[in-house]
Structure 1
Amino acid sequence: MRVSTANTYEVTIAALQKRQQQMQNSQQQLTTGKRVAWGSDDPTAAGIGERAYAQTGRIDANQRALDASRNAMTLGESALGDGIELLQQVREALVEAGNASYSDAERAGLANKISGLRQQLLAIANRGDGANGYIFGGQGSGGAPFLDQNGGVVFKGTPGVLQTGNSDNFQLSIDGGAAFEQARSGNGTFVTGTLPNVNTGAAAGGWIDSGTVTDPAQITGGNYVIQIAGTAPSQTYTISNSDTGTSSSDVFSPGKAIQFEGMSLTIAGGPVDGDQFSVAPSTNTLKVFDVLDNAIAALNTPLRSGAQIAQANSSNLRDLDAVMGNLQNVRSQVGETMNNLDGTEQRMATQKLNSQTTQSNAEDLDMVQGISNFQNQQSGYQAALQTYAMVQRMSLFQYLSPS
């Protein structure tokens, strides 16, 4: 086989250039720490790394949405706590108003105190979320969600809640209508009360409590009227079902429980012949500000009998406890949402770490292996240079040239 000197030089130069290129690539990998810098370096690994990078980006976007939701829920939980604290102060004032020795002027003073607390509660209900929105705006409102107008406070927001719209649908607001206007009336199952158009004047000496449920299976959800007949101590009561027209009667004793159809209630005081009391199903339409307005109006009403004061206080306390309980339920739901956010954040952190690990495994350089490869390539390149130098001196012309 005949090999020309020129061909030997060309082959050797090409090999040297290839080794130099490999050494340059290894040096770039060591500098950047990346094994795959271009898709052509390793198409399969580049595809895996790109998908992992995209997943990390989605997780980062979800994290920003989660942070916004946590901020809104934290503000909402704090606002609900402030509102419950104000209502507790209202409750203390109503309990104080039940003191039989208080005058009309003293009860009017308590009404002024409750009126001030009402204004503070309205400010809490219209509290902003720091992002040009409102904590209790529901799905949005053109202005403050609660408007104080003639007839009471009205919710002007859109029912429901705002959500981030991503796969997890993080909550960004609280439904103000559900929080402030949808408490269960009465004791949660039925509502008791007097018939003011019948029980009037000083003769209205009886009042009815909130009642309790003795057997949920017997509750019919009907409307009833309880009428007192006769003169104490020989009195009777008649329970009439306004829906079916049926009725039943028994002997009445003030303070003794009246039980029927799974319900138990007590009429106390001194009811007179003809006094009537109502029992109706509960509804989820009890509004916080209506309860406060009713309490203020009652405390500002002069010349009431002891029974009227007791009945009003009992009803107002019952309704106040109901709206407080509803706010506490909403606060508990917000707290549960915040717990879910914490769990979701931990899950996303794990997913992000997995994505980053996948991307690193696909693209990053094993530094130990990289350094070893570079050193081997450097040694090989030096050996190739030395070999080339020796071959270059072994040509015929070198032997023929005079020394």
Structure 2
Amino acid sequence: MRISTSQYFGMNVQTMDDQQSTLAQLYQQLSSGVSLATPSDNPVGAAQAVQLSMQGATLSQYASNQNTALAALQAEDGSLSSISSVLTSISTQLVRAGDGSLNNGDRGAIATQLQGLRNQLMGLANGTDGSGNYLYAGYQASTAPFAVNASGAVQYLGDNGVQNVQVTGTRNIAISDTGRQVFLSISPAGSAAVTAGNAANTGTGTIGNVAVSNPADPTNQHKYTINFTSSTTYTITDVTSATTTGPQPFTTGQAITLGGGGESVTIKGAPNAGDSFSVTPAAQSNTDVFANLDSVIAALQAPVAGTAGQANLTNALGTAMTQLQNTLNNVTTIQTSVGGREQEIEALQAVTQTNSLQTTSNLADLTQTDLTSVISKYTMTQFSLQAAQQGFSMIQKLSLFNYIGN
């Protein structure tokens, strides 16, 4: 096949143009550091780059959410630690108030201290995070969750909404607990039944804490009243099932079996006819920590007269101690849950950071210039172009007339 001179020249010029274009493209990659400037450079790579960019943006948002969630949980964790400290101080004062050598003035002073601790607890219940949002208000984050109403009682103004944050593609995590959960509820696990004496009792009977011998007994969840028909006999009424047993002989300090025998209680002293005591499952008892504090403060402020008055005060303190312990157990349970969520987020942060670094690396490999490779290609293309130009220049000079004169 014969190639005309014009074809030959055209082919060489086209080859050199292609090499010039390649050099320009390689130079652009070297100067900008970007190997994938437009989709036409690498359509498949461009699609992968878009996907990686979207994945990187999603991971960045999850990382931001994780930081927000962790900060919120750390704020609540610190608040719960302070709440536990106040509750422990209240418990100490209640134990001190049980000292039989104290007079009415001493107990009044303790009541004043308890009032201060109650106010301190109220302040923590209305605590805020670094952004000024109330920690325990639920969705009503801009409104103080607790307030004192016209009768002097503490009222919850928040709602039951628990704020959640999406920290991964498949995980939403709660970043708050409501005031109702913390201050007006108890944990089913670890809470004790509440014993109480009727404030109108005239005898010297005092009821102790419930002893549980069979935690699986379903009748442990029943409410009972122990009614003295005389100073030596009593009946037991299962309020839940509306049944009454007895009368039974009473011996001070002897265990009184309740329900199916899964729990028992002791009463010491000398109850009078008409005196009564109650045993209420923790979940059915008054779980409002502020109302319980108000009740025991009122009991300490009231003058104690005679042995019957001292017995009633002892019963009131015993009831308050059990209720407070149930509240403290609830706060500890919630704080444990908060700590677990903090650990989960910290673990997710590590995974998210690793995935983000890998995504960034993959995107860089796809779009950033590999200097070693591009410089090598640039040098080889430059040499090829120079060789083509020199060869074409020499061939241009060849002519039949150069041989005629010889």
- TM-score, reference length from structure 1: 0.90
Aligned 8 A contact 2:228 2:271 in 1: yes
Q: Comparing 118-127 with 72-81, which one deviates more in the overlay?
A: 118-127
Deviation at 1:189, TM superposition (A): 5.5
Amino acid aligned to 1:179: V
Aligned 8 A contact 1:30 1:367 in 2: yes
Partner of 1:217: 216
Structure-2 separation of matches of 1:395 and 1:213: 118
* Cα offsets for 1:204-253 (capped at 9, x unmatched): 3111122122113333233322123444xxx2332223433331343322
Structure-2 separation of matches of 1:49 and 1:187: 54
Aligned 8 A contact 1:140 1:162 in 2: no
Partner of 1:387: 391
Deviation at 1:68, TM superposition (A): 0.7
Structure-1 separation of matches of 2:332 and 2:2: 98
Amino acid aligned to 1:123: G
Deviation at 1:193, TM superposition (A): 1.5
Aligned 8 A contact 1:187 1:282 in 2: no
Q: Comparing 86-95 with 359-368, which one deviates more in the overlay?
A: 359-368
Structure 1 gap segments, 5+ residues each: none
Deviation at 1:49, TM superposition (A): 1.7
Q: Pairwise mapping of residues 284-303 of structure 1 onto structure 2 (< 5 A)?
A: 286-303=287-304
Paired residue secondary structure (1:283)? helix
Paired residue secondary structure (1:237)? strand
Partner of 1:246: 244
Q: Pairwise mapping of residues 108-123 of structure 1 onto structure 2 (< 5 A)?
A: 108-123=108-123
Compute the RMSD of aligned alpha carbons: 2.5
Structure-1 separation of matches of 2:153 and 2:402: 113
Structure-2 separation of matches of 1:172 and 1:84: 19
Partner of 1:138: 138
Aligned pair count reads 394
Partner of 1:327: 331
Out of 169, 173, 180, which is 1:177 matched to? 180
Paired residue secondary structure (1:111)? helix
Partner of 1:338: 342
Q: Comparing 391-400 with 277-286, which one deviates more in the overlay?
A: 391-400
Partner of 1:316: 320
Amino acid aligned to 1:244: A
Q: Comparing 328-337 with 112-121, which one deviates more in the overlay?
A: 112-121
Out of 368, 373, 381, which is 1:369 matched to? 373
Partner of 2:96: 96
Deviation at 1:6, TM superposition (A): 4.8
Amino acid aligned to 1:122: M
Aligned 8 A contact 1:187 1:210 in 2: no
Q: Comparing 206-215 with 188-197, which one deviates more in the overlay?
A: 188-197
Relative distance call for 1:146 and 1:396 in structure 2 (3 A) is farther
Structure 2 gap segments, 5+ residues each: none
- TM-score, reference length from structure 2: 0.89
Partner of 1:236: 233
Structure-1 separation of matches of 2:377 and 2:10: 26
Aligned 8 A contact 1:125 1:136 in 2: yes
Deviation at 1:111, TM superposition (A): 1.1
Q: Comparing 347-356 with 293-302, which one deviates more in the overlay?
A: 347-356
Deviation at 1:120, TM superposition (A): 1.5
Deviation at 1:266, TM superposition (A): 1.0
